[in-house]
């Protein structure tokens, strides 16, 4: 616990808040710049003496519950909350909060991507929204039922999913899928969607069991560069850029190709044809 840094940070964040920011009246005789200590303590549900001792570097190490209450009282951002936890000697709580409601910020960006494959996915690989070129490249994925809605599940149970990647990349993809699912399991806990996927895949895929037992964890689950295979256009070399929601529960994946290359021409063609077939099956 870094008492000095924690005390200084709390004082500065308290001074940066105005009473109106937390629903309090300004008051005619207010002399304190920002909130008073007793006001922060009341908002956090603790004694004023306890909070005062924290700011004076005299208090015991606060619990995670106390820190979370202080973070709410001081209206800290996710980054600031994590910083407080670290200063107090705790591990910052996970930010991932799974929801099927698409992040408005990510959706606004997706709506502007008309000429390249882009999709918003959850931490367990569910596609929530796709651009038209993404539908042309991957197929419609937003309406799939659970658990097929998860790309992790499809990878180990549906041969069609693997047709999107060259055979040479399958082992690498298996490691990434299992490692990313392990990371999602750590964030979501034993009752979350990731835990349900693990239970199902253990009973349905011998390959998954073999890869899972390696205990590999992948937080950055998107390769910067990869080869995808379209059913009619063939191999397409793409670069991957990722934008996360604030709690990292959702990610916007944007695929582009080097201008002037054959892969770039194929992506341009996908943007034009959408999900129409180029030829008769």
**pLDDT tens figures, 212-237:** 999 988 877 787 899 999 988 999 99
104-273 belongs to CATH 3.30.450.180? yes
Q: How does the average pLDDT of the chain come out, rounded?
A: 87
Q: Treating both helix axes as pointing N-terminal to C-terminal, what angle do 170-188 and 193-204 enclose, rounded to 10 degrees?
A: 140
Question: pLDDT (tens digit, 9 = 90+) per residue, 82-123?
Answer: 888 989 989 887 665 556 678 888 988 998 888 899 999 998
Res 280: pLDDT: 44
* DSSP label of 126: B
Homologous superfamily (CATH) for 3-87: lambda repressor-like DNA-binding domains (1.10.260.40)
Q: Please give the Cα distance from 266 to 264 (Å, whole number).
A: 5
Question: pLDDT (tens digit, 9 = 90+) per residue, 116-171?
Answer: 999 999 989 999 999 989 999 999 998 899 999 999 999 999 999 999 999 999 99
Q: Please give the Cα distance from 244 to 74 (Å, whole number).
A: 25
Q: Please give the Cα distance from 164 to 166 (Å, whole number).
A: 7
- Residue ranges matching CATH 3.30.450.180 in the chain: 104-273
Residue of 204 and 21 predicted with greater confidence: 204
- Residue ranges matching CATH 1.10.260.40 in the chain: 3-87
CA Rg, the chain, in Å? 24
Q: Classify burial at 109, counting beta carbons within 10 Å of its beta carbon; exposed 0-12, middle 13-18, buried 19 or more.
A: middle
* DSSP label of 168: G
């Amino acid at each position: 616990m870094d008492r000095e840094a924690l005390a200084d940070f709390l004082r500065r964040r308290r001074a940066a808040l105005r009473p109106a920011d937390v629903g309090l009246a300004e008051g005619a005789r207010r002399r304190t710049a920002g909130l008073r200590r007793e006001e922060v303590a009341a908002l956090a549900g603790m004694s004023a003496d306890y909070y005062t001792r924290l700011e004076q570097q005299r208090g015991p190490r606060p619990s995670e519950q106390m820190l979370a209450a202080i973070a709410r009282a001081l209206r800290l951002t996710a980054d600031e909350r994590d910083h407080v936890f670290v200063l107090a000697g705790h591990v910052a709580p996970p930010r991932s909060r799974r929801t099927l409601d698409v992040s408005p910020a990510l959706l606004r960006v997706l709506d502007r991507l008309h000429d390249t494959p882009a999709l918003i996915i959850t931490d367990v690989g569910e596609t929530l929204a796709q651009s038209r070129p993404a539908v042309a490249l991957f197929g419609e994925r937003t309406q799939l039922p659970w658990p097929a809605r998860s790309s992790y599940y499809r990878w180990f149970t549906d041969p069609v999913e693997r047709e999107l990647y060259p055979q040479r990349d399958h082992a690498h993809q298996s490691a990434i899928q299992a490692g990313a699912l392990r990371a999602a399991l750590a964030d979501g806990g034993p009752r979350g969607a990731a835990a349900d996927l693990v239970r199902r895949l253990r009973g349905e895929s011998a390959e998954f069991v073999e890869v899972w037992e390696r205990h590999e964890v992948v937080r950055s689950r998107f390769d910067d560069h990869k080869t995808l295979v379209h059913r009619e256009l063939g191999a397409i070399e793409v670069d991957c850029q990722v934008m996360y929601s604030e709690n990292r529960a959702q990610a916007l994946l944007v695929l582009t190709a080097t201008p002037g290359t054959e892969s770039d021409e194929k992506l341009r063609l996908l943007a034009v044809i959408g999900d129409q077939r180029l030829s008769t099956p």
